[in-house]
Each structure stands twice: as C-alpha cells, then as structure tokens.
Amino acid sequence: MAQELVERQSTPALPEARPAQTSPSHPPTLPSSSGKAGPRHWLLYLLLLPAAAALILFRVYPLWGIGIAFVDYNPVKGLGDSAWVGWKNFQEVFRRPETINLVRNTVVIALGKITLEEVAGLSFALLLYEVRFPLYRRFAQVVTTFPHFFSWVIVGTMALSLLGATGAVNGLFASVGLPAVRFLADKRVFPYTLVFSDVWKEFGWSAVVYLAALTQINPELLEAAAVDGAGRGARLWRIVLPGVLPVFVFMVAIGMGGILDAGFEQVLVLYNPAVYSTGDILDTYVYRMGLVNFKFEIATVVGVVKAVVGFVAIMTANWVSGKLSGYRMF
C-alpha cells in the first residue's frame, strides 16, 4: 500500500484534457457604426444616390417617349392628346425603300469597325509585348491611346484637312504621279474611310485590354519554351496567343452587341449627300427624320427597333462569349 502511494506521488499528474475550441460557423456580427438598426453601410448608399438619380432622370424617365411610335404625334397637342394609330408607323418604316439600305450600311460599317479594331488592338499589344525597352513601350502606348480622348469634331476636322480633294494625302499622291482619291465624296470609298479612321482613333485604347491580358501569362512558360529551343514565333503561336484568345473572343462578342451602332458622331461629321447611299446609317436617319424633318414618330420607331435588336444582340453575344471563352458580362 505504501509502495503504491510512493509511486503515485512520484508520478507527475497529467493536465486535464480540455475540449478543442472550434471556430464558430458564422463570424461574429460587428455592431453597426451608427448604433441603430437598419443598413450598416448607409454612407455607401448615400454616395450611390447621384448615380441612381442620373440613371432615373436620363435613362428611365425618357422611356415614356416610346409611346410616340404608336401615335400620330402632334407637338402642340402632346403625347396624351395625339391620335392613336397602333402599328401604322412601324409598317410605314418597314415599307420605305431606304430602310434596307440603312440597315445594310449600318451592319457593314459596324462589322468592319468591330473586327478590324480588335485585330489591330491585339496586333499592336503583341508588338508592344515584345519590346524590351520600357521607356519606348510607355511612349508608344501613350501616343496611340491619346486619340481615343479626342472628339469626332476634332478628328473629323483633321480628316477633312488630310483626306479632302486638296488635302495632304491627295497632294502626296499627285507628287508621285498617282490619281487623286475622293475619300469623302466617293460612295465606294467612303465606308472604308469611316472604318479605317475609327480604327486609327481607337486601336491604341483597345490594346490596353490585351496588354493587361498578356501580363497574366506565366513568364516561366516562356522561359521554359525558350530553354527547349522554341523561337519567338513558336512561343507567340503556342503560348501567347492561346493566353489572350479568350479575351479576344469576349471583346468581339460584346462588340457584336452594338451591331447597329456604327458611330453617329463620326458619320455626322464626315458624310454628305453624295455618299448617302453607302454612308447613311440608322442613327443619322433618326437625326434627320426627328430634328430636321420633324417626323418624330418615324424617328421613334427606328429607335425602338434599334433598341430591341441591340438588346437581343447583347444577350446573344453574352451567351456566345460564355460558351467560347468562359467570359461573361453577367
């Protein structure tokens, strides 16, 4: 018995095991900064109010004007007292001979801008990506991005000075014995003038997106490929292009949502009656019908149809982009 007591006293007592503390399944709720019930981030909602007010004032409230498309609108009587005609204005628009030509011009010009602008932006981004002098890279990026911030009034004035009948470009052609080109007066050349002038203005801005995508490519892949003997062309084709292809598909697909937006300001500044057959688009037609000829109901019908087609196009483009590239807007 004594021996057992001695052994117990000589053996150190083990600490009692405590149950493990588990972290709560939900983090503790912080008290409200105001100390009152209700939204905790009221200051953020307060900052959101100006943007919400602008959205309601300039985007939601004007929607009542859609009703002009369904009446024989009289500005003196107003929308409420104008005679209801139903779908008559829509039938008149679709029966007009110039409607098909307007849609064709708009789609052709918009497609040319979307595709060439993205291709030019991607190509320029790839060229900058290969430049090994950071100072020159920044300088080139700034110079090519700067025209994006010019309004089409400024760019249009430059285009008139350079591409006019007595402009610098035709003067250069004449000095080397080439015939003059009527960039702004020939209906066959004018669509190309619109597309390439827009690409010149916007390709540097488009390249910003692709330069950001190129920075996400793992440089270790490029170094490993170089060690294995892959040249610049092989690395570009096998590693770089597959890395930015999803972004390219996404940008083109989203651009297709604006298939009926061919650039109102640009066309309005550069076009003239001599090129209406190939340069007149839906937006300029709405401008002439509404603000020049005072046919508000016809202009509203074209605007409503354009909005519906644009909504369907942007939803389709978003779905296609998600399937092909994995990128979606929503």
Count of structural domains, the chain: 2
Q: 27-36, 52-61, 86-95: lowest mean pLDDT where?
A: 27-36
Structural domain contains residue 272? yes
Give the model's pLDDT for residue 191: 94
Count of beta carbons in the 10 Å neighbourhood of residue 190: 25
pLDDT tens across 270-286, in order? 998 899 999 999 999 98
Rounded-to-5 percentages of helix, strand, coil across the chain: 70, 0, 30
Give the model's pLDDT for residue 229: 86
CA-based nearest residue to 141, from 205, 77, 85, 200: 205
Give the model's pLDDT for residue 267: 94
pLDDT tens across 89-131, in order? 999 999 988 899 999 999 999 999 999 999 999 999 999 988 8
Specify the pTM: 0.79
Q: Among positive and negative, which fits the CA dihedral 191, 194, 197, 199?
A: negative
Q: Which residue has the higher pLDDT, 18 or 243?
A: 243
Strand partners, 83: 72
Structural domain contains residue 122? yes
End-to-end CA distance of the chain: 80
Q: Are residues 261 and 271 located together in one domain of the fold?
A: yes
Structural domain contains residue 209? yes
Q: 3-12, 50-59, 115-124: lowest mean pLDDT where?
A: 3-12
Structural domain contains residue 315? yes
Structural domain contains residue 52? no
Q: Residue 283 is part of a domain; what is its CATH number? A: 1.10.3720.10
Q: Are residues 165 and 191 located together in one domain of the fold?
A: yes
| Structural domain boundaries, residue 86 | 67-96
Q: What is the mean pLDDT of residues 34-54?
A: 77
Q: What is the 3-state secondary structure (H, E, C) of 215-244?
A: CCCCHHHHHHHHHCCCCHHHHHHHHHHHHH
Q: Are residues 74 and 195 located together in one domain of the fold?
A: no
Structural domain contains residue 146? yes
Q: Are residues 197 and 132 located together in one domain of the fold?
A: yes
Give the model's pLDDT for residue 91: 92
Separation between Cα atoms, residue 275 and residue 217, nearest integer Å: 46
pLDDT tens across 281-322, in order? 999 998 998 888 888 998 899 889 888 888 888 888 888 878
Q: Are residues 117 and 80 located together in one domain of the fold?
A: no
Q: What is the mean pLDDT of residues 217-230?
A: 87
CA-based nearest residue to 118, from 190, 192, 198: 198
Give the model's pLDDT for residue 36: 52
pLDDT tens across 153-165, in order? 999 999 988 998 8
Phi, psi torsion values for 115, nearest 5 degrees: -70, -50
Q: Are residues 76 and 213 located together in one domain of the fold?
A: no
Residue 295, CA distances (Å) to 69, 262, 305, 311 in order = 10, 22, 16, 25
